[in-house]
Amino acid sequence: QVHLVESGGGFVQAGGSLRLSCAASGRTCSLYTMGWFRQAPGKERDFVARIGGSGRMTDYADSVKGRFTISRDNAKNTVYLQMNSLKPEDTAVYYCAADVHTYSRSREAYDYWGQGTQVTVSS
């Protein structure tokens, strides 16, 4: 069992930055793909970014490429999402997730989820 806890969300003006953290406990997650997803009101939960177990492989949704950076510190069992140049359309609840078996963009592939953290970007 893996327990994920996100933090770092908040309210920020357009153009600002936030860094989200996802702390994992339970099984060692250093071999797992970790992903960030987001869900805006009335919309589906969408892929944002993923990172492979070693941290060498990363992938981003087109909407955040060049603005967001995913990273991980396996010694701390923590994954980060640095979000720069934030836009109002980035407003959503952001979820951290662990994919035990694959390296996928699909939310169905992820086995464990955090409770989410709200990010609100004002114009």
Cα 61 to Cα 77: distance, rounded to the nearest angstrom = 24
Spatial separation of the C-alpha atoms in residues 12 and 60, rounded to whole Å: 22
Q: How confident is the model at residue 95 (pLDDT cuts 50, 70, 90)?
A: very high
Q: What is the mean pLDDT of residues 66-94?
A: 97
More confident residue, 29 or 54: 54
pLDDT digits (tens, 9 = 90+) for 97-120: 999 988 889 999 999 999 999 999
**Torsional sign, CA 58, 8, 74, 100:** negative
In the numeric block, which tokens belong to residue 35?
A: 């992903």
Strand partners, 60: 49
For residues 39 and 95, what is the distance between their CA atoms, to the nearest angstrom? 8
Q: Which of 12, 8, 5, 10 is nearest to 88 (CA)?
A: 12
Q: Is it the case that residue 25 has pLDDT exceeding 90?
A: no
What's the rounded mean pLDDT across residues 12-33?
90
**Stretch 72-88: mean pLDDT, rounded?**
96
Question: DSSP code of 92?
Answer: E
